[in-house]
Amino acid sequence: MEAFWRGQKQWVLPLTIVCFVLGGLLAVQVRTRQLRGATEVGRQTSALVWMLADARAQLEKQKDETDRLRSRVTDYEELAASEKGVVGLMRDELRNGRMALGLVPVEGPGIELVLDDSTMHTGADVGGQDLFVIHDVYLLQVANELYAAGAEAVSLNGHRLVSGSAITCATRLIKVNDVAISNPFVFLAIGNKDNLVSALNIRDGFLDFLRRLEFKVKLTPKDQIVIPPVAIAPTYEYSQAVTKETGR
């Protein structure tokens, strides 16, 4: 009998150790799942909070725009209540339309940008002479960047750029609105001068590219500049305004 209990004691201790180890592993596994679940819930909560904040910002922006439009409609209704108001309203709309078409000169703050050919020496291994002269596509790129930066009116060598304006190349001549121009090329742009300067001087932007090739680039902010009207007013042969009378 004593030998029997001695044999029992020999496996009780290892069995106890195994039970403790298994219990510890089980506790670790349960805790790990809890932590994973908490982490996943935290991520989902963060995403939902961000989405909610973004939705609130968009809603607030839409509310502000709605309030602005309602206020403008109210102003129009008040002006339309009197003959004088109607005349003033029509005058303002006509003035805005004439400005958009470039039919009148405009003035305001903005920038002056002067571009000219590069001072680098030419060489066959870098593309020859054409690489170091101003091309029409360069001027188009600058005009696009000005409009993208918020320019309200732009001219090139005294020629107003409006919808339908073209900057083209004919042999070795550059034309604006079908009129030949020569270097230096001078852009005038009306708008927020700080925004225009920052946009044009952006790192790795187009002016940065021209400066690296030693093109002459002079960008100057101006408190007041004047941009002339278009020389020839745009005409419309096929386009017609949509009105109630036409039924379209």
Q: Are 111 and 197 within 8 A, CB to CB?
A: yes
Whether 38 has a pLDDT exceeding 60, the answer reads no
Beta strand 179-181 pairing with 185-190: unpaired
Whether 9 has a pLDDT exceeding 60, the answer reads no
Secondary structure in 3-state letters for the chain: CHHHHHHHHHHHHHHHHHHHHHHHHHHHHHHHHHHHHHHHHHHHHHHHHHHHHHHHHHHHHHHHHHHHHHHHHHHHHHHHCCHHHHHHHHHHHHHHHHHHHCCCCEEEEEEEEEEEEECCCCCHHHCCHHHHCCCHHHHHHHHHHHHHCCCCEEEECCEEECCCCCEEEECCEEEECCEEECCCEEEEEECCHHHHHHHHCCCCCHHHHHHHCCEEEEEEEEEEEEECCCCCCCCCCCCCCCCCCCCC
What does the pLDDT average to over 154-179?
Answer: 87
The C-alpha angle 192, 111, 108, rounded to 5 degrees, equals 60
- The confidence score (pLDDT) of residue 5 equals 42
* C-alpha–C-alpha distance, residues 160 and 85, integer Å: 32
When pLDDT is cut at 50, 70 and 90, the band that residue 47 belongs to is low
Which CATH number does 106-227 carry? 3.30.70.1880
* C-alpha–C-alpha distance, residues 108 and 191, integer Å: 7
What residues pair up with 168 in beta bridges, in sequence order?
175
Global pTM value: 0.60
- The confidence score (pLDDT) of residue 153 equals 93
CB contact set of 159 (below 8 Å; sequence gap of 6+): 165, 176, 177, 179, 181, 230, 231
Whether 7 has a pLDDT exceeding 60, the answer reads no
Whether 247 has a pLDDT exceeding 90, the answer reads no
Lowest-confidence pick of 44-58, 93-107, 179-193? 44-58
* C-alpha–C-alpha distance, residues 160 and 166, integer Å: 11
- The confidence score (pLDDT) of residue 201 equals 94
Whether 70 has a pLDDT exceeding 80, the answer reads no
State the chain's mean pLDDT as an integer: 76
How many C-beta neighbours within 10 Å does residue 65 have? 10
When pLDDT is cut at 50, 70 and 90, the band that residue 188 belongs to is very high
Beta strand 173-176 pairing with 185-190: unpaired
CA distances 108 to 7, 70, 159, 222, Å, are 104, 29, 17, 9
* C-alpha–C-alpha distance, residues 205 and 208, integer Å: 5
Segments making up each domain of the chain, as ranges: 1-81, 106-227
Lowest-confidence pick of 8-12, 130-134, 152-156? 8-12
